[in-house]
Amino acid sequence: MTKQCKCSDSLTDRTRLEEVVLDTMLYSAKLKETVARQNSAVIVAMARMIAETFEAGGKVLICGNGGSAADAQHLATELTIRYRSSVQRPALPAIALSTDTSALTAGANDLGYDAVFARLVEAYGREGDILLGLSTSGNSKSVVNALGYARQHGMKTITLLGGDGGVLKGAGDLEIIVPHSGSADRVQECHITIGHVIIDLVERMLGYCRS
């Protein structure tokens, strides 16, 4: 029987636990500030690429694993349904590739999981569309393969990565690497914030009115 590892911090040590809250949230805020200062021009360029793609009748495909799959869903929904109720606009075409469990499980079973997203890009992607790949490590093979297929078939590519960028560093037409290693959580917090800012900018670039 495996013994559970217990933390030395007491659950009743309120001061210590509050320090954990402060340390975590302040580090997350500082990391976002660093990313913003280093990548504001890139974020604007990403938003412009997406806005121009929508104007040309194209769409955005988004893929990632685990928490990044949740982020892909989150961002796709805010494009298709709405981001803020104060902005009046039509639906914008975005597809999260992680939402169809039948496709994911059939692909994993029949082709191998590493090929799942590439297969869905083959199904839905067209020349001029965008593939947005999310990977906190930069080493997710399913995302690597999807990016490779997209680039080979005339799609534009955007990557949101973490750590040192992994094997995906340089694979996207535009990329942001969150400089945090060792855990996915802080990187994911930056990715979803970047995604929210991009959507806000896309709406502004497309001229949708704000009430």
* Residue 9 confidence class, pLDDT cut points 50, 70, 90: low
pLDDT confidence of 12, banded at 50, 70, 90? low
Closest by alpha carbon to 36, among 202, 199, 198? 198
Residue pair 205/48 in contact by the 8 Å Cβ criterion = yes
- According to DSSP, residue 167 is labeled G
Return the pLDDT at 100. Answer: 96
User: Contact, 107 vs 123, CB < 8 A?
Assistant: no
pTM for this prediction: 0.93
Q: Over the chain, what is the mean pLDDT?
A: 95
β-sheet with 60-63: strand ranges across: 94-96, 60-63, 130-135, 156-162, 174-178
Write out the CATH class of domain 45-205. alpha beta
Please list, in sequence order, all residues whose beta carbon lies within 8 angstroms of the beta carbon of residue 100, skipping any fewer than 6 positions away: 120
Predicted confidence at residue 13, as pLDDT, reads: 83
pLDDT at 170 over 90: yes
- 95 strand-pairing partners: 61
